[in-house]
Structure 1
Amino acid sequence: MLPILGIIGGVSYHSTIHYYKRINEAYGKAKGGHSSAPIMIDSLDFSIVERCRLAGKWQELANSVLSAALRLERVGCQAIMVASNTLHKFAPLLESRLGIPLLHIGDGIAFELNQRQKQKVLLLGTKLTMDEPFLRQRVESKFEGSILCPDPEEKLELSRIIYEELTQGMIKESSKAFYEAICSKYQELGVDGILMSCTEIGLLIPADEDRFLDSLEAHVSAGVEFLLVSE
C-alpha cells in the first residue's frame, strides 16, 4: 500500500497550489510514467487564520491547525506537512499530539543550507516568523551556519507585502524591488544566502539563483523523499 502524505494548506491557497504542483512534478520525475503523488490536503479558511492572527487568538488558531492534522491522520495519512512557515509556531503541539511524523519545514531548510555549504543567511518571512524563535531555533539546531533577520522597520514592510499582496495573488514591481534591495543590502554585509521563509515569497522572487533558498522547495523535497523511501 502506498504511503499517503497529508498537507495542511490554504495559508494561502496560492502557495498550496504550488506545493501540490511541485510535489507531483518531483514525484513523477522520480517514478516515471504517469505517476502522481498520493496526497491528501486539508485546506484551512485563510480568513479565519487571519482573524485569529490579528486578534491574537493563538489558542483558537492552534486548535484549528491541530484539528486539520488529526483529520488527516484519521483518514490514513502516514505523515503531515504544514504548508506554511508561520503556522510552524504550532509544530510542538502537533508533534506532541500526532501518532505520525510531522515533516517540519525547518528540518528541510537546514538540510538544504548545509548541502549548499552556506555560512550566514538572511531570514525573510512574516513578522511573526522573523520575530519569534520557533523556526529559527529549529533550523539553527541542525544548520552549521548562522541566521540573521532584517531591521524592525524592514520587517514591517516585508510582512505587509506578504499579507496585503502575496497572499491575495498580487505581484507588484515596487514590492519586488523592495525585497531585492533588502537582499542586496545584507549581501554587502556578508550574507551568503537568502532564506525565503514564507511560502509566498517565491511568487515574487523566483529562487533561480544559488543565493536564494525557497523554504517551500526545501519542504517539497522532504515530502517527496518521505513518499519515495516509505514505499
Structure 2
Amino acid sequence: MGCAALRLLFFLLVVKPFLLLAVGINVRRRDRLPRRGPALIVANHNSHLDALVLMAMLPLRLLPRVRPVASAEYFLRGRWRSWFATRVIGIIPVATCGGGSRAEVLEPVRDALAVGDMVIFFPEGTRGEPECLGKLKTGIVWLVEQLPETPVHPVRLSGLGKVLPKGHWLPVPFLCDAWVGETLRWQGDRSGFMAALAASLTPPEPQVAAVREGQI
C-alpha cells in the first residue's frame, strides 16, 4: 500500500472520527481555505493536534499535497516515529536547533511550495501556552519573499492546547474552534505583513462569543 493510501486511511478512519466524536472542531469561514497549491496555511501552535486538525479541515482529495512543517529533531527521532511522520503524515522536517542559515533551514519548505504543495506552517516555531500567541518568527517573511505569489491563509486555533497541551499525551475532550482569516498576500512590506498576520492569529477578547457554523 502506498503512502498516499495510508495517509487517506489514517485520516478517514482515525483522525476525522476522533476529532468529530472526542473533540469537536467548529470551523468558521472554511470557504477561505485553499483548494489548490501552492499555498501557505499558517496557524498558532499549542498542541500536537494542530497540524492534524488543519489537514482534516481540507478535502480528503487534497491530502497528498498537504505538507506540515515540523521539527526534524523531534519527529525524526526513532525509526518508527520518523517513518510515520514522513510517510504517513507527510511532514517537511526542518532543523529547529543548531546552526544553519535561514535559507538552508527553510529551503525544503520553499521547494515544496515551488512544486505546488499546500504547506502548513507555524510561525511561532514551537508550541506555546494555551490561548496565548507567542512571538512570531520572521521565517515566514523569507518564504513569501522567495515566492511572492503564494497566498497565505491564516487560521486561528482555539482550545486544542487544552485537549493535548505541551508535555501531555492523554487527550482531554474539549470543544475547539478554528477561524480562517482573510487571505494575505506579500506586498513588499515586512512589518505590515507581520502585523497583519499577528492580528489574524491573536485570540479575540473573552467577551466576544463565537457563532458555531459547522464541524469537521
Q: TM-score, normalized by length of structure 1? A: 0.28
Q: Looking at secondary structure, tell me which structure has more helix per residue.
A: 1
Higher relative contact order (Cα pairs below 8 Å, separated by 6+ residues): 2
Q: TM-score, normalised by structure 2?
A: 0.30
